[in-house]
Chain A
Amino acid sequence: MTTPIVGLAGCGVTGSRVLHHLAAHQVRVAVYDPSPALARNTRVVRLESAADLMACDLVVLCGPAPHAPLTEMLVADATPVVSVGDDLDDMQALLALQPLAERHGVAAVVGAGMAPGLSGLLARYLAAQLHTLDELHVAVHGTAGPQCARQHHAALGDAALGWHDGEWIQPPGGSGRDLVWFPEPIGAHDCYRAALPDPLLLQRGFPTAQRISARVSATRRDRLTARLPMLTPPHAAGDLGSVRVEARGAGPHGERVSVIAGVAGPTAELAAVVCAATVGQLLRHPVAPGVHALGDEALAGLDLLHHATQLGVRVQEFTGVARATSW
Protein backbone atom coordinates (compact mmCIF):
# COMPACT_ATOMS: atom_id res chain seq x y z
CA MET A 1 0.00 0.00 0.00
CA THR A 2 1.45 3.36 -1.05
CA THR A 3 1.48 6.39 1.22
CA PRO A 4 -1.31 8.78 0.23
CA ILE A 5 -0.43 12.17 -1.19
CA VAL A 6 -2.32 15.22 0.03
CA GLY A 7 -2.63 18.19 -2.28
CA LEU A 8 -2.59 21.60 -0.62
CA ALA A 9 -4.07 24.52 -2.56
CA GLY A 10 -3.01 27.77 -0.94
CA CYS A 11 0.06 27.97 1.25
CA GLY A 12 -0.44 31.24 3.10
CA VAL A 13 -0.66 31.83 6.82
CA THR A 14 -3.06 28.95 7.45
CA GLY A 15 -1.94 26.69 4.63
CA SER A 16 1.71 26.77 5.71
CA ARG A 17 0.69 25.63 9.19
CA VAL A 18 -1.43 22.83 7.76
CA LEU A 19 1.60 21.80 5.72
CA HIS A 20 3.73 21.82 8.88
CA HIS A 21 1.29 19.61 10.81
CA LEU A 22 0.83 17.13 7.99
CA ALA A 23 4.56 16.90 7.34
CA ALA A 24 5.14 16.31 11.05
CA HIS A 25 2.92 13.23 10.78
CA GLN A 26 4.79 11.87 7.78
CA VAL A 27 2.05 12.75 5.31
CA ARG A 28 3.31 13.45 1.80
CA VAL A 29 2.10 16.87 0.66
CA ALA A 30 2.17 18.51 -2.77
CA VAL A 31 1.48 22.24 -2.80
CA TYR A 32 -0.22 24.35 -5.42
CA ASP A 33 0.14 28.08 -4.80
CA PRO A 34 0.93 30.54 -7.59
CA SER A 35 2.31 33.15 -5.15
CA PRO A 36 6.04 33.89 -5.57
CA ALA A 37 6.71 33.31 -1.85
CA LEU A 38 6.28 29.57 -2.30
CA ALA A 39 8.76 29.46 -5.18
CA ARG A 40 11.54 30.30 -2.74
CA ASN A 41 10.66 27.34 -0.52
CA THR A 42 12.55 24.47 -2.11
CA ARG A 43 11.60 21.90 0.53
CA VAL A 44 8.04 21.35 -0.70
CA VAL A 45 6.80 19.50 -3.75
CA ARG A 46 5.28 22.18 -5.91
CA LEU A 47 2.48 21.65 -8.42
CA GLU A 48 2.41 23.81 -11.51
CA SER A 49 -1.36 23.95 -12.05
CA ALA A 50 -4.60 23.34 -10.22
CA ALA A 51 -5.33 20.42 -12.55
CA ASP A 52 -2.36 18.57 -11.04
CA LEU A 53 -4.27 18.40 -7.76
CA MET A 54 -6.48 15.72 -9.29
CA ALA A 55 -3.58 13.30 -9.05
CA CYS A 56 -3.64 13.57 -5.24
CA ASP A 57 -5.53 11.25 -2.91
CA LEU A 58 -7.08 14.17 -1.03
CA VAL A 59 -6.96 17.92 -1.56
CA VAL A 60 -7.00 20.62 1.12
CA LEU A 61 -8.19 24.08 0.06
CA CYS A 62 -6.60 26.82 2.18
CA GLY A 63 -6.59 29.70 -0.27
CA PRO A 64 -8.97 32.65 -0.40
CA ALA A 65 -12.59 32.22 -1.52
CA PRO A 66 -14.12 30.98 -3.71
CA HIS A 67 -13.49 27.28 -3.16
CA ALA A 68 -16.59 26.03 -4.94
CA PRO A 69 -15.25 25.98 -8.55
CA LEU A 70 -12.12 24.01 -7.65
CA THR A 71 -14.11 21.72 -5.35
CA GLU A 72 -16.56 21.01 -8.15
CA MET A 73 -13.71 20.08 -10.47
CA LEU A 74 -12.12 17.79 -7.89
CA VAL A 75 -15.36 16.16 -6.79
CA ALA A 76 -16.23 15.47 -10.42
CA ASP A 77 -12.89 13.66 -10.59
CA ALA A 78 -13.79 11.68 -7.42
CA THR A 79 -11.08 13.36 -5.36
CA PRO A 80 -11.97 13.99 -1.70
CA VAL A 81 -11.75 17.62 -0.62
CA VAL A 82 -11.31 19.44 2.69
CA SER A 83 -12.03 23.17 2.62
CA VAL A 84 -11.28 25.75 5.31
CA GLY A 85 -13.32 28.47 3.56
CA ASP A 86 -15.61 30.72 5.59
CA ASP A 87 -17.33 32.80 2.92
CA LEU A 88 -21.11 32.53 3.18
CA ASP A 89 -21.88 32.67 -0.55
CA ASP A 90 -19.07 30.24 -1.30
CA MET A 91 -20.36 27.91 1.41
CA GLN A 92 -23.81 27.85 -0.14
CA ALA A 93 -22.23 26.95 -3.47
CA LEU A 94 -20.21 24.21 -1.79
CA LEU A 95 -23.26 22.71 -0.10
CA ALA A 96 -25.01 22.69 -3.45
CA LEU A 97 -22.41 20.15 -4.62
CA GLN A 98 -24.08 17.45 -2.49
CA PRO A 99 -25.74 15.65 -5.47
CA LEU A 100 -22.49 15.77 -7.45
CA ALA A 101 -20.52 14.31 -4.54
CA GLU A 102 -23.04 11.52 -4.02
CA ARG A 103 -23.07 10.75 -7.73
CA HIS A 104 -19.28 10.39 -7.80
CA GLY A 105 -19.11 8.58 -4.46
CA VAL A 106 -16.74 11.07 -2.86
CA ALA A 107 -16.76 13.10 0.36
CA ALA A 108 -16.15 16.83 0.60
CA VAL A 109 -15.67 18.28 4.07
CA VAL A 110 -16.37 22.01 4.17
CA GLY A 111 -15.78 24.56 6.90
CA ALA A 112 -12.80 22.73 8.40
CA GLY A 113 -11.14 25.70 10.09
CA MET A 114 -11.74 27.58 13.31
CA ALA A 115 -15.19 28.97 12.53
CA PRO A 116 -16.76 27.17 10.89
CA GLY A 117 -14.99 24.01 11.93
CA LEU A 118 -14.01 24.09 15.55
CA SER A 119 -17.32 25.82 16.25
CA GLY A 120 -19.18 22.79 14.92
CA LEU A 121 -17.05 20.37 16.93
CA LEU A 122 -17.70 22.39 20.11
CA ALA A 123 -21.41 22.48 19.31
CA ARG A 124 -21.44 18.69 19.00
CA TYR A 125 -19.48 18.39 22.25
CA LEU A 126 -21.97 20.66 24.09
CA ALA A 127 -25.08 19.11 22.55
CA ALA A 128 -24.07 15.76 24.02
CA GLN A 129 -24.37 17.35 27.49
CA LEU A 130 -28.00 18.39 26.94
CA HIS A 131 -31.11 16.27 26.90
CA THR A 132 -32.75 18.59 24.39
CA LEU A 133 -30.91 21.17 22.31
CA ASP A 134 -32.85 24.37 21.59
CA GLU A 135 -30.32 27.07 20.75
CA LEU A 136 -26.75 27.41 19.50
CA HIS A 137 -24.90 30.71 19.55
CA VAL A 138 -21.41 31.10 18.10
CA ALA A 139 -19.06 34.03 18.64
CA VAL A 140 -15.75 34.47 16.84
CA HIS A 141 -12.77 36.72 17.52
CA GLY A 142 -9.60 37.12 15.50
CA THR A 143 -8.44 36.41 11.97
CA ALA A 144 -5.91 34.03 10.51
CA GLY A 145 -4.19 35.67 7.55
CA PRO A 146 -4.75 38.87 5.54
CA GLN A 147 -7.34 37.21 3.28
CA CYS A 148 -9.23 35.99 6.32
CA ALA A 149 -9.20 39.52 7.77
CA ARG A 150 -10.58 40.94 4.52
CA GLN A 151 -13.24 38.25 4.55
CA HIS A 152 -14.31 39.16 8.11
CA HIS A 153 -14.30 42.85 7.22
CA ALA A 154 -16.62 42.23 4.27
CA ALA A 155 -18.82 39.90 6.32
CA LEU A 156 -19.55 42.67 8.80
CA GLY A 157 -20.98 44.81 6.00
CA ASP A 158 -23.13 42.12 4.39
CA ALA A 159 -26.50 40.75 5.44
CA ALA A 160 -26.09 38.19 8.19
CA LEU A 161 -27.79 34.81 8.36
CA GLY A 162 -29.56 33.37 11.36
CA TRP A 163 -31.99 30.58 12.18
CA HIS A 164 -34.80 31.94 14.33
CA ASP A 165 -37.77 29.89 15.48
CA GLY A 166 -37.60 27.54 12.55
CA GLU A 167 -36.97 30.01 9.73
CA TRP A 168 -34.05 31.86 8.19
CA ILE A 169 -33.63 35.53 8.96
CA GLN A 170 -31.21 38.02 7.40
CA PRO A 171 -30.53 40.83 9.86
CA PRO A 172 -28.12 43.53 8.71
CA GLY A 173 -24.46 42.94 9.40
CA GLY A 174 -23.14 44.95 12.33
CA SER A 175 -26.44 44.69 14.24
CA GLY A 176 -27.32 42.69 17.36
CA ARG A 177 -24.52 43.78 19.68
CA ASP A 178 -23.70 41.24 22.37
CA LEU A 179 -20.93 41.48 24.95
CA VAL A 180 -19.19 38.11 24.83
CA TRP A 181 -16.61 36.74 27.25
CA PHE A 182 -14.08 34.67 25.36
CA PRO A 183 -11.56 32.39 27.06
CA GLU A 184 -8.44 34.10 28.36
CA PRO A 185 -6.36 35.85 27.17
CA ILE A 186 -8.98 37.22 24.77
CA GLY A 187 -11.51 38.37 27.38
CA ALA A 188 -14.66 40.41 26.71
CA HIS A 189 -15.49 41.86 23.30
CA ASP A 190 -18.57 43.31 21.69
CA CYS A 191 -19.77 40.99 18.96
CA TYR A 192 -22.15 41.68 16.08
CA ARG A 193 -24.04 39.70 13.50
CA ALA A 194 -22.20 39.20 10.19
CA ALA A 195 -22.36 37.11 7.04
CA LEU A 196 -20.89 34.01 8.67
CA PRO A 197 -21.63 30.48 7.45
CA ASP A 198 -21.86 28.87 10.91
CA PRO A 199 -25.68 28.98 11.19
CA LEU A 200 -25.99 27.43 7.74
CA LEU A 201 -23.79 24.48 8.70
CA LEU A 202 -25.03 24.08 12.26
CA GLN A 203 -28.66 23.97 11.15
CA ARG A 204 -27.78 20.98 8.95
CA GLY A 205 -26.03 19.23 11.79
CA PHE A 206 -28.56 20.13 14.50
CA PRO A 207 -32.00 20.26 12.87
CA THR A 208 -33.81 20.30 16.22
CA ALA A 209 -32.26 23.62 17.27
CA GLN A 210 -34.80 26.43 17.07
CA ARG A 211 -32.36 29.32 17.16
CA ILE A 212 -28.85 29.50 15.75
CA SER A 213 -26.79 32.67 15.51
CA ALA A 214 -23.21 33.65 14.78
CA ARG A 215 -21.45 36.86 15.72
CA VAL A 216 -18.01 38.27 15.14
CA SER A 217 -16.13 40.69 17.38
CA ALA A 218 -15.72 44.21 16.05
CA THR A 219 -14.80 47.68 17.17
CA ARG A 220 -16.73 50.88 16.46
CA ARG A 221 -14.35 51.65 13.62
CA ASP A 222 -14.90 48.19 12.13
CA ARG A 223 -18.65 48.76 12.10
CA LEU A 224 -18.33 52.24 10.66
CA THR A 225 -16.02 51.21 7.83
CA ALA A 226 -17.46 47.74 7.16
CA ARG A 227 -18.88 48.79 3.80
CA LEU A 228 -15.64 50.48 2.74
CA PRO A 229 -12.27 48.99 1.81
CA MET A 230 -10.04 48.21 4.80
CA LEU A 231 -8.41 51.42 6.00
CA THR A 232 -5.42 49.73 7.60
CA PRO A 233 -3.62 46.66 6.29
CA PRO A 234 -4.45 43.47 8.21
CA HIS A 235 -1.99 41.48 10.30
CA ALA A 236 0.46 39.80 7.96
CA ALA A 237 0.69 36.73 10.20
CA GLY A 238 -2.75 36.81 11.79
CA ASP A 239 -3.46 37.36 15.45
CA LEU A 240 -4.80 35.68 18.54
CA GLY A 241 -8.33 34.45 18.13
CA SER A 242 -11.04 32.58 19.88
CA VAL A 243 -14.28 30.78 19.23
CA ARG A 244 -17.01 30.46 21.82
CA VAL A 245 -20.12 28.31 21.52
CA GLU A 246 -23.12 28.51 23.82
CA ALA A 247 -25.74 25.75 23.73
CA ARG A 248 -29.07 26.17 25.46
CA GLY A 249 -31.61 23.48 26.01
CA ALA A 250 -33.24 21.32 28.62
CA GLY A 251 -31.94 18.76 31.08
CA PRO A 252 -33.43 15.33 31.67
CA HIS A 253 -36.08 16.74 34.04
CA GLY A 254 -37.05 19.67 31.82
CA GLU A 255 -34.89 22.24 33.60
CA ARG A 256 -33.29 24.93 31.45
CA VAL A 257 -29.58 24.38 30.93
CA SER A 258 -26.91 26.54 29.25
CA VAL A 259 -23.46 25.17 28.58
CA ILE A 260 -20.57 27.12 27.11
CA ALA A 261 -17.25 26.02 25.64
CA GLY A 262 -14.50 27.93 23.93
CA VAL A 263 -10.99 27.79 22.57
CA ALA A 264 -8.39 30.55 22.37
CA GLY A 265 -5.05 30.69 20.61
CA PRO A 266 -3.40 31.89 17.41
CA THR A 267 -6.24 31.88 14.90
CA ALA A 268 -4.29 30.41 12.00
CA GLU A 269 -2.87 27.70 14.24
CA LEU A 270 -6.31 26.70 15.52
CA ALA A 271 -7.67 26.52 11.99
CA ALA A 272 -4.64 24.55 10.79
CA VAL A 273 -4.84 22.05 13.65
CA VAL A 274 -8.52 21.36 13.00
CA CYS A 275 -7.86 21.03 9.28
CA ALA A 276 -4.87 18.70 9.82
CA ALA A 277 -6.85 16.53 12.26
CA THR A 278 -9.66 16.27 9.72
CA VAL A 279 -7.28 15.30 6.93
CA GLY A 280 -5.55 12.73 9.10
CA GLN A 281 -8.80 11.09 10.10
CA LEU A 282 -10.22 11.14 6.58
CA LEU A 283 -7.13 9.35 5.30
CA ARG A 284 -7.63 6.63 7.92
CA HIS A 285 -11.43 6.41 7.94
CA PRO A 286 -13.26 7.27 4.72
CA VAL A 287 -16.73 8.71 5.28
CA ALA A 288 -19.97 8.45 3.35
CA PRO A 289 -20.15 10.31 0.03
CA GLY A 290 -21.57 13.83 0.18
CA VAL A 291 -20.77 17.29 1.47
CA HIS A 292 -20.18 17.32 5.22
CA ALA A 293 -19.42 19.94 7.85
CA LEU A 294 -17.47 19.26 11.02
CA GLY A 295 -20.49 19.38 13.32
CA ASP A 296 -22.41 16.84 11.25
CA GLU A 297 -23.48 13.52 12.67
CA ALA A 298 -21.83 11.79 9.69
CA LEU A 299 -18.39 12.87 10.96
CA ALA A 300 -19.05 12.18 14.64
CA GLY A 301 -17.30 8.82 14.33
CA LEU A 302 -14.04 10.52 13.39
CA ASP A 303 -13.72 11.93 16.93
CA LEU A 304 -12.21 15.08 15.48
CA LEU A 305 -12.31 17.22 18.63
CA HIS A 306 -10.24 14.67 20.52
CA HIS A 307 -7.70 14.49 17.70
CA ALA A 308 -7.58 18.28 17.53
CA THR A 309 -6.76 18.40 21.26
CA GLN A 310 -3.99 15.89 20.58
CA LEU A 311 -2.50 18.42 18.17
CA GLY A 312 -2.64 21.30 20.62
CA VAL A 313 -6.19 22.68 20.84
CA ARG A 314 -7.10 23.46 24.47
CA VAL A 315 -10.86 23.24 25.01
CA GLN A 316 -12.18 25.34 27.89
CA GLU A 317 -15.57 25.27 29.56
CA PHE A 318 -17.29 28.18 31.24
CA THR A 319 -18.02 27.37 34.84
CA GLY A 320 -20.71 29.24 36.71
CA VAL A 321 -24.15 30.41 35.73
CA ALA A 322 -24.55 31.91 32.29
CA ARG A 323 -26.91 34.85 32.57
CA ALA A 324 -27.67 38.11 30.86
CA THR A 325 -25.57 41.06 31.86
CA SER A 326 -27.34 43.53 34.17
CA TRP A 327 -25.29 46.60 33.57
Chain B
Amino acid sequence: MRATGDTWPHMAGAAAQPVRRATVATLPAVKMLRRALVALSLAGTIAGLLRMRGKGGVPPQEGGWREVGVPPQ
Protein backbone atom coordinates (compact mmCIF):
# COMPACT_ATOMS: atom_id res chain seq x y z
CA MET B 1 0.00 0.00 0.00
CA ARG B 2 1.36 3.30 -1.00
CA ALA B 3 0.96 6.38 1.02
CA THR B 4 0.49 8.77 -1.76
CA GLY B 5 -1.71 11.75 -2.32
CA ASP B 6 -3.79 9.75 -4.77
CA THR B 7 -4.66 7.10 -2.22
CA TRP B 8 -5.36 9.56 0.72
CA PRO B 9 -6.43 12.79 -0.90
CA HIS B 10 -7.43 14.54 2.36
CA MET B 11 -4.13 13.74 3.94
CA ALA B 12 -2.37 15.02 0.95
CA GLY B 13 -4.18 18.42 1.22
CA ALA B 14 -3.31 18.71 4.89
CA ALA B 15 0.29 18.06 4.22
CA ALA B 16 0.28 20.70 1.55
CA GLN B 17 -1.13 23.43 3.89
CA PRO B 18 0.55 23.33 7.30
CA VAL B 19 -1.36 24.66 10.41
CA ARG B 20 -0.87 28.39 10.79
CA ARG B 21 -0.07 29.54 14.31
CA ALA B 22 -0.15 33.10 15.62
CA THR B 23 3.30 34.36 15.90
CA VAL B 24 2.51 37.60 17.88
CA ALA B 25 0.67 37.18 21.23
CA THR B 26 -2.41 39.46 21.77
CA LEU B 27 -1.63 42.25 24.20
CA PRO B 28 -3.51 41.91 27.56
CA ALA B 29 -4.84 45.45 27.29
CA VAL B 30 -6.30 44.82 23.87
CA LYS B 31 -7.86 41.59 25.13
CA MET B 32 -9.51 43.44 28.02
CA LEU B 33 -10.74 46.19 25.72
CA ARG B 34 -12.22 43.63 23.40
CA ARG B 35 -14.03 41.91 26.29
CA ALA B 36 -15.33 45.24 27.57
CA LEU B 37 -16.69 46.09 24.14
CA VAL B 38 -18.41 42.73 23.91
CA ALA B 39 -19.90 43.13 27.41
CA LEU B 40 -21.12 46.64 26.63
CA SER B 41 -22.72 45.63 23.39
CA LEU B 42 -24.39 42.64 25.08
CA ALA B 43 -25.68 44.84 27.91
CA GLY B 44 -26.99 47.38 25.42
CA THR B 45 -28.75 44.71 23.42
CA ILE B 46 -30.40 43.21 26.53
CA ALA B 47 -31.41 46.62 27.87
CA GLY B 48 -32.86 47.55 24.51
CA LEU B 49 -34.84 44.33 24.37
CA LEU B 50 -36.19 44.85 27.88
CA ARG B 51 -37.11 48.45 27.13
CA MET B 52 -38.94 47.45 23.97
CA ARG B 53 -40.81 44.74 25.87
CA GLY B 54 -41.87 47.03 28.80
CA LYS B 55 -44.96 49.22 28.80
CA GLY B 56 -43.06 52.40 29.59
CA GLY B 57 -43.02 54.82 32.53
CA VAL B 58 -46.48 56.28 32.38
CA PRO B 59 -47.85 57.17 35.80
CA PRO B 60 -51.42 56.23 36.65
CA GLN B 61 -53.74 58.88 35.28
CA GLU B 62 -57.11 57.66 36.50
CA GLY B 63 -59.12 59.68 38.94
CA GLY B 64 -58.46 62.98 40.64
CA TRP B 65 -59.42 65.09 43.60
CA ARG B 66 -62.81 66.68 44.02
CA GLU B 67 -63.98 68.92 46.83
CA VAL B 68 -66.78 67.53 48.96
CA GLY B 69 -69.08 69.17 51.42
CA VAL B 70 -69.29 67.92 54.98
CA PRO B 71 -72.87 68.44 56.14
CA PRO B 72 -73.67 68.78 59.84
CA GLN B 73 -74.58 65.57 61.61
List chain B positions with a Cβ less than 8 A from chain A: 55-60, 62-73
Contacts and interface: CB of A to CB of B under 8 A. Distances in A.
Contacts of B59: 188, 325, 327
Most chain-A CB neighbours within 10 Å: which of B60, B65, B67? B65
Interface string A282-321: 0000000000000000001101011001000011111111
Contacts of A219: none
A327 B68 contact: no
Interface residues of A, number: 25
A320 B72 contact: no
* Contact residues of B: prevailing secondary structure: loop
B73 to A, nearest CB: 5
A315 B66 contact: no
A317 B66 contact: yes
If over half of A's interface residues share one DSSP class (helix, strand or loop), that class is named, otherwise mixed; here it is: mixed
A311 B32 CA distance: 71
Most buried by B among A125, A262, A319, A322: A319
B62 to A, nearest CB: 4
A316 B63 CA distance: 12
B70 A327 contact: no
6 nearest CB pairs, A to B = A320-B63, A316-B65, A320-B62, A183-B65, A303-B73, A317-B68
A326 interface: yes
19 contacts: A183-B65, A262-B65, A305-B70, A306-B70, A306-B71, A306-B72, A306-B73, A315-B67, A315-B68, A315-B69, A316-B65, A316-B66, A316-B68, A317-B66, A318-B65, A322-B63, A325-B60, A327-B56, A327-B58
